[in-house]
Structure 1
Amino acid sequence: MATLYELLGVADNASEDEIKRAYRKAAMKWHPDRNAGREDAARAAFQEIKDAYAILSDAHQRAVYDAVFAEEMRRWQSAQEKRERERAEREAAEQAAAEARYQENYRENVALAMRFADAGYNRDVLLGVLLGRDCDEELACRVADSVHAWQQARRAETSTEEQASEPDDTVPHEKENDGNDDKNNEDPAATPPHDTTSAEPHEERHSRLFNALWRGFFGLRS
């Protein structure tokens, strides 16, 4: 809705002379006698102009109008700011809820893909399972690729640790005694007895191998 100043086409700090000149110009423009064929619209506009001028040409009424209008504008501005604040809060809450749903959906999809990957299925199967769960295609591809790559890396790491824990059969055995050496000529007293403490007990070797396999299976590091 236009203000009284806008009806007359002047600024809200216009002087009395500016208001008077604006009124005369607007009255001539909207006088019914000068608007043949649209007298009703002109008559309504002309009346609004007269009412506006009646208030703004009177110093007391203009002061009251300015005070009431200013208060109304402050109230309107406050209400507008409140509406904008509430709208922003609603949008923020909706965005937070959407992000929470996305994160939960992502976690569920990753967990599902990991279960199938642990069971030995390849990347295409992981992708098909995710798509069958109505997962977004782009997200399903990313999850399937990531989980498959992670599973392959874990299996390779497990295999490496298992190989490292196995005994090394490449060390050549000592040449067997063919009976022609000088062993029989050696002084028995000079030959040190077999050091039973240097051999690793069978139970300890078994425990060490088991620990290596266990760490490799679960991707742990000591």
Structure 2
Amino acid sequence: MATLYDTLGVPAHATDDEIKRAYRKAAMKWHPDRNHGAEDVARAAFQEIKDAYAILSDAGQREVYDTVYAEQMREWEAEHMRRQRTQAEREAVARAADEAAYAAMVSIAIRFADQGHNRDVLFGVLLGRQCEAQRAAQIADSVAALQAARRDEAHAAQKAQRASRTGKRAQTAEAGADEREPQEPAQETGAAPTASKRTAGQTEAQATPHDTPHSNRANHARRDESASDVHPASTLGNLWFQFLNGLKF
């Protein structure tokens, strides 16, 4: 909304001298004699400049103008705010209605897609429901793509489940095969220490090839003791034999 100050090109707090200088400059610029070929436009602009200067150059008229203009500006701003608020409310209502209509069309498309219909059928159904062609195509494409993604996800999940069941059956079969394997005889386990003892004895015998008579008697006594420890019946037999020999002497 242009003001008289805007017509002269000065701020609202301009002094009288600033208003006078601005008027002279604007009058020279828009004087009809200086605008050949555009006299009508220049004449209208020049008249506005004269009217603005006539009001602003008079202190009383300027004060009245400022008061009236301020009040008019307040009213204009209030009206402008009301219009903006009303327009915003209308836009909100229209947007809500549009979103509701869009959601309804999407719901219809999803319902038909769940029944196994393809994209072309969805598009035709939406057109039959008075849906705009561009929006119907957009909804049909989106719903068809969503349905295809869901089918792929379901197939992938089924494939993963089958693979998991196959792996569990394989593990169960391997566990059963391990349980059916024959175990090694226990005798072999006990034979190893005997062989070890026998080897240790041979090593000890080889380590002392030159035994003295005393050591032979000691070894003979140790063998008798070992034999008596291992075979109790032999020990009793030896004692009985010594007893008989004692009777002879």
Q: Distance in 2 between the 1:63 and 1:76 partners?
A: 20
C-alpha contact 1:114 1:147 (8 A) present in aligned 2? no
Note closer, same or farther for the CA distance 1:155–1:60 as it changes in structure 2 (3 Å cut). Answer: same
One-letter code of the match for 2:26? A
Q: Which has the larger radius of gyration?
A: 2
1:130 aligns with 2:133: no
1:2 aligns with 2:2: yes
1:141 aligns with 2:144: yes
Identity among equivalent positions (%) equals: 52
C-alpha contact 2:56 2:62 (8 A) present in aligned 1? yes
**TM-score w.r.t. length of structure 2:** 0.50
1:111 aligns with 2:128: no
Secondary structure of residue in 2 paired with 1:102: helix
Structure with the larger RCO, 1 or 2 (CA within 8 Å, 6+ apart): 1
Note closer, same or farther for the CA distance 1:127–1:50 as it changes in structure 2 (3 Å cut). Answer: closer
One-letter code of the match for 1:105? M
Q: Distance in 2 between the 1:87 and 1:12 partners?
A: 32
Q: Residue 61 of structure 1 aligns with which residue?
A: 61
Matches within 5 A, 1:18-97: 18-97=18-97
Secondary structure of residue in 1 paired with 2:143: helix
C-alpha contact 1:27 1:46 (8 A) present in aligned 2? yes
Note closer, same or farther for the CA distance 1:104–1:155 as it changes in structure 2 (3 Å cut). Answer: farther
Note closer, same or farther for the CA distance 1:52–1:9 as it changes in structure 2 (3 Å cut). Answer: same
Secondary structure of residue in 2 paired with 1:88: helix
* TM-fit CA distance, 1:154: 10
Q: Distance in 2 between the 1:113 and 1:31 partners?
A: 75
C-alpha contact 2:5 2:11 (8 A) present in aligned 1? yes
Matches within 5 A, 1:147-186: 148=151
**TM-score w.r.t. length of structure 1:** 0.55
Q: How many residues are aligned here? A: 154
Comparing both structures, which one devotes a greater share of its residues to helix?
Answer: 2
C-alpha contact 2:32 2:42 (8 A) present in aligned 1? yes
C-alpha contact 2:106 2:143 (8 A) present in aligned 1? no
One-letter code of the match for 2:54? A
Note closer, same or farther for the CA distance 1:150–1:108 as it changes in structure 2 (3 Å cut). Answer: farther
Q: Distance in 2 between the 1:128 and 1:39 partners?
A: 66
Note closer, same or farther for the CA distance 1:150–1:132 as it changes in structure 2 (3 Å cut). Answer: farther
One-letter code of the match for 1:11? P
Note closer, same or farther for the CA distance 1:95–1:154 as it changes in structure 2 (3 Å cut). Answer: farther
C-alpha contact 1:131 1:140 (8 A) present in aligned 2? no
Q: Residue 120 of structure 1 aligns with which residue?
A: none
One-letter code of the match for 1:130? L
Q: Distance in 2 between the 1:150 and 1:38 partners?
A: 74
Q: Residue 194 of structure 1 aligns with which residue?
A: none
Q: Residue 181 of structure 1 aligns with which residue?
A: none
Which ranges of structure 1 fall in alignment gaps of 5 or more residues?
117-124, 157-222
Secondary structure of residue in 1 paired with 2:106: helix
Which ranges of structure 2 fall in alignment gaps of 5 or more residues?
127-135, 160-249
